[in-house]
Chains A and B, each alone.
Chain A
Amino acid sequence: MSKERKMTITLPREELMSSGHLACQGCGATLAMRYALKALGQKTILCIPACCWSVIDGPFPHSSLDVPIYHCAFETAASSASGVRAGLDMVGDKETTVMAWAGDGGTFDIGIQALSGAAERNEDFIYACYDNEAYMNTGIQRSSATPIGAWTTTTPVKHYKKERKKDIIGIMAAHDIPYIATASIAYPEDMVKKFKKAKDIHGTRFIHIYAPCPTGWKSRPDDTVKLARLAVQTGYFPLYEVENGEKWTLNLKIKERKPITEYLKLQGRFRHLKQDEIDLIQAEVDNNYQKILKKCGL
């Protein structure tokens, strides 16, 4: 007879997301929402612009979340959240957390003006960007968050994406907002910790979540968590925080980074890449990782 073992559950038990949502199998964005809400609790209002989550939530009159949702226009996650916060303050609700919840297209591209404006005003809300590195809801078109080398329906194999991914953390850090963090669905404890930390800070808080998309990445649904973990372990998506634009902290030190090819080879969107192109991507990853280490004083 085996000895009885007790596992400690480190994540909050509260479930604010129910099954019956409309996400694809293996959707990283869905895990991201579940963990974020576990951290923030029920007194949360979401502003969701056009993105996968405007569908995942469920069609009218259904909703898979137990928190209020304002489905807002594509480029207005940050401006809508500014308004919701101001409105709540004026009707006497200072307690509820307002969170803008947008995809990479709504954040890196069409919503960046409103986001920059809100960050400059240091509006009091959390802005979470779940990044699946393309316009997935419309059918996998490139965004400025799509990584170099990737196939999308608008960067076909013969003309795969030649431009680098936009440095959104650098942009947000330049606004000197009180809190910025990267988070990954492969590291739920870290993610929950960051959302909890963000909840207790006032001002604009920006959390960049890495959210693999099997549909758009042409990866296996059961590889989602593995891919998210590899993104961290290769140094492609390091986990770190930036406080007040100046205090950079690496949350997870990777002693020996895995080669990027391990991450790339699990995804159909990179299948066309030749070895010399993979080497270039490896050099990019190394370079970016060193930059972040340097900013973190390591």
Chain B
Amino acid sequence: MKKVIMGNHALSYGAMLSRAQVIAAYPITPQTQVVELLSEMCANGTLDAKFIKVESEHSAMAACLGASMAGARTFTATSAQGLALMHEMLHWASGGRMPVVMGDINRAMAPGWSIWTDQIDSLSQRDTGWIQFYCSSNQEVLDTVIQAYKVSEKLMIPSMVILDAFALSHTYEVVEIPEQEKVDAYLPPFNPPYRLTPADPHAFGGLTSPDHYMELRYKLQKDMEKVPALVEETGREYEKMFGRYLGQVDDYLCDGAELVFVTSGTAGLTARVVVDELRAQGVKAGNLRIKLFRPFPFEQVRSILSRVPKVAVLDRNISYGHHGVFYQEVKSAMYGLPSEPAIFGFIAGLGGRDITRETYKEIADYALKHDRPEEEIVWIGVKK
């Protein structure tokens, strides 16, 4: 069935079709419609789940984790300050191997108060041990929620499904809503190997000496390393059942390109339009949209970018005192390869400033004109 829905509701439908059993959430703009629709679904019986209306995001994640430990499939959604407040519990989720799936609506961090999009909120959680998917359409949001449960529960690692504030969260698009029976066939019920039950009492998360701690973290990393292949496998399986492939990256005309944009989120869709326009003007451009950011899709990024002379990374974020985060990550992935391209870093669109075709044209002009980046960061559209 096709429906015209907003990005936020794509998250809700994803959670509903995945049969989330416990939802705990706290309202924050621009996330509110996600949980409004879910609480309606819980109230009218469309979704058989407990909705805990907690008093903060910290408690939202804590409640999800408690429910996950009890063996229930859990969902929450938040944004910006809410995600920052959850920070401690994000480590708890991955460290405790609790496969929560959470929607994060990328919103700029205060002060000054901003409800508009950029990626600093979720990228600040880069090292918490969560899988991160950056989506660029409402369809992708819905599909990725379902896939995220499959990946997360297989490896017992939590997932964040991320979408841009307003540019996606409040934008209505046509979305194919999969049939419940087919989703049930794709995603079996959550059945964790260990759980809180008096029938088999264990103590979870207790005091862990240096004799054991490091091994727990080693295992988490080893399982993280399995994510790219599992995303590939579950993405192909999804394609077989639903006709849509869900991969780690979206490669648009990168093969044989002279300049490739590296993008993420909705800005990654704008880039495709610009690639077409540049190609019409005789510039062989391409676009590599990174969807799976954590773990970083090293293999695919390396194989695509090592065949390209110039790479322009667009960051809607900044790591103060360093570079844009995607720029750092792409450079680190390409470092030392025999065919390392010239990699340029651009920052644009912070705090919800639009990223338009003109933004990309400026980027392309700069990258085509220079052999190497002359500045550490090239800011696009900033009033200096």
Contact = CB atoms under 8 A, between A and B. Distances in A.
A86 B55 contact: no
A73 B202 CA distance: 17
B58 to A, nearest CB: 7
Query: Chain A interface mostly helix, strand, loop or mixed?
Result: mixed
Contact of A60 (B49, B50, B54, B209): B209
Given A71-B203, A86-B52, A114 B22 contact: no
B136 interface: no
Contacts, number: 170
B55 A87 contact: no
Contacts of A60: 203, 206-209, 212
Contact of B64 (A75, A83, A85): A83
Interface stretch (A88-96, A192-200, A238-246): A88-96
Interface residues of B, number: 43
B205 interface: yes
A68 B198 contact: yes
Interface in A63-77: 63, 65-73, 75-76
Given A70-B196, A83-B22, A47 B208 contact: no
A12 B72 CA distance: 33
Interface stretch (A25-33, A115-123, A128-136, A213-221): A115-123
Contact of A87 (B59, B70, B203): B70
Given A114-B59, A117-B59, A86 B50 contact: yes
B231 interface: no
Interface of A: 42-45, 47, 54-55, 57-63, 65-73, 75-76, 78-91, 93, 96, 113-114, 116-117, 120-121, 123
Given A83-B24, A91-B21, 18 more contacts: A59-B208, A62-B203, A63-B206, A65-B201, A71-B203, A71-B204, A79-B66, A83-B63, A83-B66, A83-B69, A84-B67, A84-B69, A86-B22, A86-B67, A87-B72, A93-B197, A116-B55, A120-B55
28 contacts: A42-B198, A45-B70, A45-B196, A55-B207, A57-B206, A57-B207, A58-B203, A59-B208, A63-B203, A65-B201, A66-B201, A68-B197, A69-B203, A69-B206, A70-B204, A83-B62, A83-B63, A83-B68, A84-B66, A84-B67, A87-B21, A87-B70, A87-B74, A91-B70, A96-B198, A117-B59, A121-B52, A121-B53
